[in-house]
Amino acid sequence: MKSAVTVSLVPEAAGGPFVFWKGLEDAFAQTAALGFDGIEIFPSDPGAIETGRVRALMEQHSLAVAAVGTGAGWVKHRVHLCHPELEVRLKAQEFVCAMVRQAGALGAPTILGSMQGRVEAGVERSQALDWLTEGLVLAEATASEHGVVFLYEPLNRYETNLFNLQMDAAAFLSERHLKGVRILADLFHMNIEEKDLAATIRSLGDSLGHLHFADSNRRAIGFGHTPAVDIVAALRDIHYSGYLSAEVLPLPNSIAAARRTIESFRALTV
């Protein structure tokens, strides 16, 4: 298992669950100094990832890019993949695929979280699921051109009505034959929705591709009451070798959240 921490490059996401906020140079330096394996980037748009500059930082600090998020497509640009208007859906698809190309060039998978959208009023659920599939098929094909998977993240009920439970999402991906799409399990969302976090992780097995390592209160693991020991035991049981990436609030401040994360990670994975 590998450790990672998040950096947001999106001022409009202020107050959101990201550890670092002061740009890539600052985040890479702090992340490397604490001994993480990777960094997860939340850019405002695909153009914000200059691959040459990011590659230089990766090399300088011996860090991988663990994943790249697409949430700014919703938070900043207000588009999503299940929007009733075709033009908005097409913009959302292009945003996601452009991000997949940028992330793919860095060897990193891209995440579909908030940009999945929701079943809007007046839209049939089956129609929204077909639109979601359309977006996932495009993203999966683009990701496979770069030899990476694409990540689909179930969210809690206050953020989407598409999929709130991990296994419902995994069954959907399987029904739609989306073999290049893996589940991103965010422990914060799971804490709201799942009956048993460790059992769910065991059920996910190989369909798990990435994990947001957040405590019950969306603070660093160790600051809440999520049963992290049981969860890491379940991850070992399924031979999970991906990232535990801290998508958490920068509380009490960025550096303390990052430090608590890496301390918890080390204590749990020895």
- Using CB under 5 A as the binding rule, whether residue 215 contacts Mn ion is answered as no
140 to 169, contacts with ligand LER by CB under 6 A?
Answer: 153, 155, 159
Give the orientation angle of helix 24-34 with respect to helix 51-61, to 10 degrees.
20
The amino acid at residue 150 is F
Does 104 interact with ligand LER (rule: CB under 6 A)?
Answer: no
Integer CA distances (angstroms), 77 to 8, 71, 115, 129, 199, in order: 16, 9, 10, 22, 37
CB closer to ligand LER out of 61 and 257: 257
Separation of CA 250 from chain center: 17
Member of 17, 104, 109, 209 binding ligand LER (CB under 6 A): 17
Q: Least distance from C-beta 90 to Mn ion, angstroms?
A: 25
Does residue number 186 form part of the binding site for ligand LER (CB under 6 A)?
Answer: yes
Using the Cα atoms of residue 202, residue 157, residue 128 and residue 180 in order, give the sign of their dihedral.
Answer: negative
Question: Of 61 and 162, which has the nearer Cβ to ligand LER?
Answer: 162
**Residues 202, 167: contact at Cβ < 8 Å?**
no
Residue 194 binding ligand LER, by CB under 6 A: no
| Whether 263 is catalytic | no
Q: How far is the CB of 193 from ligand LER (least distance, A)?
A: 12
Query: Is 85 noted as a catalytic residue in this protein?
Result: no
**Eight-state DSSP code of residue 11:** G
Rule CB under 6 A: choose which of 83, 247, 264, 268 binds ligand LER. Answer: 247
Query: What's the helix, strand, coil split of the chain in %, to 5?
Result: 50, 15, 35
> Could you list the residues that contact Mn ion (CB under 5 A)?
186, 212, 247
> Could you list the residues that contact ligand LER (CB under 6 A)?
16-17, 71, 113-114, 153, 155, 159, 186, 212, 247
